[in-house]
Amino acid sequence: MSLKRRLLLHVCCAPDATIPWPVLASEGYEVRGFFYGNNIHPRCEWQKRRDAVIKLSSFIGMEAEIAPYSPAAWFSAAGGLSGEGEGGARCEACFALQLESAARHAALGGFGYVCTTLTISPHKKPEDINRLGREKAEAAGVGWIERIWRKNDGFMLSVIKSREMDIYRQNYCGCAYSVRRVPDGDGIHERSA
């Protein structure tokens, strides 16, 4: 039996995990990645990101779990906020959904802690992410590891590491509305101007 503290790392995408995952392991945590991608649209984009997480996991020799793709939960939580600007209420609802899923998964899997890669991005508010993470972790009965991964050039280091490992790096957050696309019964289609 391992004496290391078990930690579930919520992985929003492989590039953003290139720094946090090995750093947490070097700090003595037994880290398992958890890719939750119900916020990623369309499905082919989710598949690219899933494959990148699997590639990174193999490259660094650490385990990853992939949550099944079920975007209905995301549209239920954030779909009514399609008119919100980036960084607003829609993003907060999206982060809350991701972090709640990770915290619940951590509790069910016997992990004592949960953390996220979301704070490596210069486009997100780390204070809001850490607040939501604390709330969701506490509700699930696990500890929250608060980090701001973009500090000390974390974001730039993740770009460099992604290139070195030939890891797919996306050009949008994944949200259907961040690429000016909207869902309909048949999938995701370009919004008419």
Residue 25 gets the label, from left (phi > 0), alpha (psi -120 to 50) or beta, of: alpha
Structure tokens of 102? 């990770």
Tell me: the pLDDT tens digits for 98-135?
Answer: 999 999 999 999 999 999 999 999 889 999 999 999 99
Provide the number of structural domains found in the chain.
1
Beta bridge partners, 5, equal: 29
CA distance 44 to 37: 12
Instruction: pLDDT band for 84, please (50, 70, 90 cuts).
Output: low
- Tell whether the model's pLDDT for residue 190 goes beyond 80: no
Structure tokens of 70? 């079920």
R_g of the chain computed on alpha carbons = 16
What is the DSSP pairing of strand 113-116 with strand 143-144? Answer: parallel
Q: Give the global pTM.
A: 0.88
Instruction: Please report the pLDDT score of residue 82 as a whole number.
Output: 66
Structure tokens of 8? 């579930």
Instruction: pLDDT band for 89, please (50, 70, 90 cuts).
Output: confident
Instruction: pLDDT band for 189, please (50, 70, 90 cuts).
Output: very low
CA distance 21 to 19: 6
Instruction: Please report the pLDDT score of residue 183 as a whole number.
Output: 45
Specify the range with the lowest mean pLDDT, choosing from 55-59, 65-69, 92-96.
92-96
- Tell whether the model's pLDDT for residue 144 goes beyond 80: yes
Instruction: Please report the pLDDT score of residue 91 as a whole number.
Output: 85
Instruction: pLDDT band for 173, please (50, 70, 90 cuts).
Output: confident
Residue 35 belongs to a domain with what CATH number?
A: 3.40.50.620
Specify the range with the lowest mean pLDDT, choosing from 6-15, 61-70, 71-80.
71-80
Which residues form the domain of 9? 5-190
